[in-house]
Structure 1
């Protein structure tokens, strides 16, 4: 890399690399909350990147322990890296996989190569537009429960206002929606999985040792989560097989998918069972044994996919909603515009969200895109080169991980303008393409074939929730709010987001 003009900070130790220096810089940056509600958060969250890029240029090499990483900033290089051209040459590193193995496993997010291709093919149909329409009623149903809760809190309050911690409510709502859309026929068990999986996630992230009582708690929780998943999966499979047995082959009115259910689990299970049957060997001798092994494999794979979508679906949505409510609570003008749009479309569709109206919610769409730009849940993208590749004029050797500082790119004033650190949804009035100098500078859901398969679901969910809640309530930031974004895998509010909630009075 030096021969190509790319340098970087020298490792401070053989096994630690630059981690100690990075940790010291971040600890100092996070020592205090931000002085004001400023969206200039890159120096706070990525002080190592800011300092090293000023010294060595925007692209440089540093060491994440024993893993060498290339921070890459050139947008054309990033576009080519994330394209289908290098789909099999780049993937998740061993360190990345180990970091989330307990609460994600080998699901789509962490898969590489042919395994990723197969899993993406199986999962993708569950997020087609026609399938998403079936999830709308679940999202509405869960949001109505929040409406009821907030109405009750306001009615019981002696004042016409109540302070709530919006991030807690959005986390619970997103978890409820995931449980409902993934396991509609086993909703309560799905909610229990969500609670245990959330606890497992926190334990895994904060675990500083691979041994001792912490590891025992992780293993115990993991076993409990997987046991619950297996109960639901095998129960759904048995019910589907029983239903199919009661119908003759010439009854084509009902698709096989219908037997498994229209929730995410049912759709994935139907796809996996179909793929297994297509691949079943024609020989009779070992057929039963091989089919049993295939069923065990698909159950394990399906379990990891469910864990993956619990994590990614919940994490992305509750953070998007939390940060969006924070931005709207501090911007009365945009909150008013969003509410007026929501009221208009709800009135036209019988006071309930309709799938066809979602694409016409332009103001809400602009607000959500700007929220994703300023407070993108995933602040970086990381891939490891499994073979030596060439990107433009840049040669990337095998074993080097590529690190894309998404948050820094989203706030770059040379790309977005001098107002890059301001909340200005109008920049997306003509879409992403015209929002900045290069549309590649906006990648909250990654880019290319490995982009987030559930991004349309996340945006649909966010629009429905915002539309319903804005139409009935007003939101203002509490004086107790302390602006302190932090990164714990994802970009989160350290102290939550306390909001003053009131009924909306037309």
Structure 2
């Protein structure tokens, strides 16, 4: 027995040594050799930019620049946010051109500031440019939904989800929008004495509004039932930002850190709440006590129908898939519309002449009656205002795609594993595309629609572009038009002296010091 142990020990040492050497080689390949190869391949084709710095690339510099910008408020009536929200991209484009390179850890990120290249990437006819793989914790936080899927899974999910966003279905959700906004307006009016203006921080108020609306329209629940979910999802979005700005270390998300524990707790609580919603709808559907005004029901019905059409007695997507879609829809549905409405109220406070024009249009179309969908199609000025706010203050400041095999784009052959950064905020503020008045609020740019507003397309893509354009775009814009119309019917508003203009990318582009508005009843 002793001879066996002595004889086996050198073999174990050898295997252990080989394993250590293999792990060291993998680390060296990932953190140094591969970045050097990719960098040389891109520079050889004329892509200029920053040099790779072991091990975090430009992540530390990006964090430093963002922290510096966060401490500095912007002047009022100033809309030049590109430098503030994407400082590394702004500086790199300025120094190296609209197609240039930075580093996210050991991965090169090629900035595509040319709309023609953006169009080619987002058209993605053959799925050649995919969304980068996200950390497991990030997916758990926000939801593993449609925007994260690729290929056949994306196509199936999109087909099942699409019916819920058809115009006739959105019409049935209108009472949820108007009811939620009426409650908000009544609450604001109760704060005011006759004829006197009152300061209100509209940012948290509008978050509550859109959270309430998404709860009622999507799940048929009230704010009291849905508030916990959208609070948790809002926190998850902020935690997600912290995760994505860190250097990715394999296995780190499984460590019992305070951040990871909080993410896990939130995800489990959201899933339990959503499971309750789904169980209620399943029971109602079985008993024939539900209708199709509820987006969750629409999703479940579409899922069952797709299974039947394909000859299966089972739904096409799993309950876990539905939970992922609901989490993502809750986050996207709340955040996008709340930031759009907030920046719209801020901007219209700065430009009272446009506020008056929008109000006159709303009163001409609706009078003092509650808005309806048919009337929203007549709101040309309101639509122009919303588009211009989306141009100046896009909720999402950039998109990313990644090559998974060698791809040619704009005469450059990109090796597998290169990230392509599509800087929405930078392109929305490019004077070559929008003119020398690019930083000015001019809704008339969109008088003839989106296609003629800029010199190239898609120079305006706040909801993405191409086949993967946000499925909830019409939902968000309809909700914004309804809410803004009802606010304009009942209030005049201007900026409070306590307001600090400080847009900053958290999960979406948010006012980090709030949005203090002086409201006055009409």
Q: Same fold (TM over 0.5)?
A: yes
The structure-2 alpha-carbon separation of the partners of 1:196 and 1:27, relative to structure 1 and needing over 3 Å to count, comes to closer
The structure-2 alpha-carbon separation of the partners of 1:191 and 1:280, relative to structure 1 and needing over 3 Å to count, comes to farther
Equivalent residues in 2 for 1:269-280, closer than 5 Å: 269-279=300-310
Question: How far apart in 2 are the matches of 1:48 and 1:204?
Answer: 20
1:67 is aligned to 107
In the TM superposition, residue 44 of structure 1 has moved relative to its aligned partner by: 1.7
Equivalent residues in 2 for 1:86-97, closer than 5 Å: 86=126, 88-94=127-133, 96-97=134-135
1:405 is aligned to 423
Pick one of 322, 326, 331 that aligns with 1:302: 322
Pick one of 124, 134, 151 that aligns with 1:113: 151
**Deviating more after overlay: 55-64 vs 140-149:** 55-64
Pick one of 432, 437, 441 that aligns with 2:450: 432
Deviation by residue 1:170-212 (Cα, 9 ceiling, x = unmatched): 1110100000111115764333322332233334444678433
1:48 is aligned to 88
Larger Rg: 2
The structure-2 alpha-carbon separation of the partners of 1:217 and 1:233, relative to structure 1 and needing over 3 Å to count, comes to same
Checking the alignment, whether the CA contact within 8 Å between 1:68 and 1:401 is kept in structure 2 is yes
1:248 is aligned to none
Question: How far apart in 2 are the matches of 1:234 and 1:280?
Answer: 25
Checking the alignment, whether the CA contact within 8 Å between 1:384 and 1:402 is kept in structure 2 is yes
Is 1:9 aligned to 2:53, yes or no? no
In the TM superposition, residue 277 of structure 1 has moved relative to its aligned partner by: 3.2
Question: How far apart in 1 are the matches of 2:430 and 2:402?
Answer: 25
2:392 is aligned to 374
For residue 345 of structure 1, give the secondary structure of its aligned residue in structure 2.
Answer: helix
In the TM superposition, residue 99 of structure 1 has moved relative to its aligned partner by: 6.0
2:280 is aligned to 235
For residue 337 of structure 1, give the secondary structure of its aligned residue in structure 2.
Answer: helix
2:182 is aligned to 144
Checking the alignment, whether the CA contact within 8 Å between 2:93 and 2:100 is kept in structure 1 is yes
1:189 is aligned to 225
1:26 is aligned to 66
Deviation by residue 1:343-386 (Cα, 9 ceiling, x = unmatched): 11112xx7111111111100100000000000001111101112
The structure-2 alpha-carbon separation of the partners of 1:185 and 1:58, relative to structure 1 and needing over 3 Å to count, comes to closer
Checking the alignment, whether the CA contact within 8 Å between 1:102 and 1:200 is kept in structure 2 is no
The structure-2 alpha-carbon separation of the partners of 1:124 and 1:491, relative to structure 1 and needing over 3 Å to count, comes to same
For residue 49 of structure 2, give the secondary structure of its aligned residue in structure 1.
Answer: coil
Unpaired runs of 5+ residues, structure 1, are 245-258, 282-286
2:38 is aligned to none
Question: How far apart in 2 are the matches of 1:188 and 1:303?
Answer: 20
Question: How far apart in 1 are the matches of 2:398 and 2:57?
Answer: 19
Checking the alignment, whether the CA contact within 8 Å between 2:395 and 2:508 is kept in structure 1 is yes
Question: How far apart in 2 are the matches of 1:83 and 1:199?
Answer: 32
Question: How far apart in 2 are the matches of 1:299 and 1:222?
Answer: 15
Checking the alignment, whether the CA contact within 8 Å between 1:260 and 1:270 is kept in structure 2 is no
1:364 is aligned to 382
Runs of 4+ in structure 1 deviating by more than 6 angstroms, as ranges, are none
Checking the alignment, whether the CA contact within 8 Å between 2:119 and 2:457 is kept in structure 1 is no
Pick one of 373, 384, 396 that aligns with 2:414: 396
The structure-2 alpha-carbon separation of the partners of 1:142 and 1:493, relative to structure 1 and needing over 3 Å to count, comes to same
Question: How far apart in 1 are the matches of 2:86 and 2:242?
Answer: 20
In the TM superposition, residue 29 of structure 1 has moved relative to its aligned partner by: 2.7
**Deviating more after overlay: 307-316 vs 386-395:** 386-395
Deviation by residue 1:134-180 (Cα, 9 ceiling, x = unmatched): 1111100100001110111114x8x7111000111111101000001
Unpaired runs of 5+ residues, structure 2, are 1-41, 247-251
User: Over the residues paired in the alignment, what is the CA RMSD in angstroms?
Assistant: 2.0
Is 1:447 aligned to 2:465, yes or no? yes
Checking the alignment, whether the CA contact within 8 Å between 1:82 and 1:448 is kept in structure 2 is yes
Deviation by residue 1:89-112 (Cα, 9 ceiling, x = unmatched): 222212x35463122231011112
2:294 is aligned to 263
For residue 243 of structure 1, give the secondary structure of its aligned residue in structure 2.
Answer: coil
